[in-house]
Chains A and B, each alone.
Chain A
Amino acid sequence: GAGVSQSPSNKVTEKGKDVELRCDPISGHTALYWYRQSLGQGLEFLIYFQGNSAPDKSGLPSDRFSAERTGGSVSTLTIQRTQQEDSAVYLCASSLHGRGNTIYFGEGSWLTVV
């Protein structure tokens, strides 16, 4: 597609339920990132995929969070047993392989846990 596409745009879920957030990066981009942003805060790094390398999962806040990237393209971020503190905008971004490349963001998925 023309840009990074994320779905759903908005998701309201009950505490304790699982959610899946999807990211479709720009075609040909080998690097894919997930960030989390709470209201009025900065971007919190979650996970980074680069080609076939093992992902950098160092930013995942707990074992309730996981992400996968199938076929080097689409990525899914899964949050199990959601808590109210998981409420945030989840931003996905992608870039071409190599240093110094601009990263392109999707519009984000706004998650509200009630």
Chain B
Amino acid sequence: SQQGEEDPQALSIQEGENATMNCSYKTSINNLQWYRQNSGRGLVHLILIRSNEREKHSGRLRVTLDTSKKSSSLLITASRAADTASYFCATEKNNNDMRFGAGTRLTVKP
């Protein structure tokens, strides 16, 4: 069964704007990860945030985690056309057992 649910399903912005994607989940987690997928092929890991962390940064990416609300957000600042992709959150149910949401399709227009 799926665990995370991303919101919105699709997001279209202009280059230079910020993009915010949200993820909600249902059960307790050990950590939450965000992945990116181009063209329906393999996913690439972006960032991991542990259950005892609230915020994490990596380059233009900023991830927050609110365990009380069972939600996370991914912010991409100063977006570029190359950021166009689908973004998925994944939660670790048990030891290494990762479940993914349906993803947010981001389009960045040049």
A interface with B by C-beta (< 8 Å): 4, 31, 33, 35, 37, 39-45, 48, 50, 56, 58-59, 89, 91, 93, 95, 97-108
Contact = CB atoms under 8 A, between A and B. Distances in A.
SS class, residues of chain A in contact with chain B: loop
B82 interface: no
Contacts of B105: 40
Contact of A45 (B33, B41, B99, B103): B99
Interface string B84-110: 000010101001111111110100000
B42 A42 contact: no
User: Which 10 interchain pairs have the tightest Cβ spacing?
Assistant: A42-B102, A105-B42, A43-B100, A31-B96, A102-B45, A105-B43, A107-B42, A100-B31, A42-B103, A107-B41
B41 A43 contact: no
Contact of A101 (B44, B96, B102): B96
A37 B95 contact: no
Most chain B CB neighbours (cut-off 10 Å) among A40, A58, A107: A40
Interface of B: 1-2, 6, 30-31, 33, 40-45, 48, 50, 88, 90, 92, 95-103, 105
Given A50-B97, A59-B1, 14 more contacts: A33-B98, A35-B100, A40-B105, A43-B103, A45-B2, A89-B41, A93-B98, A98-B95, A99-B92, A100-B48, A100-B50, A102-B33, A103-B45, A106-B42
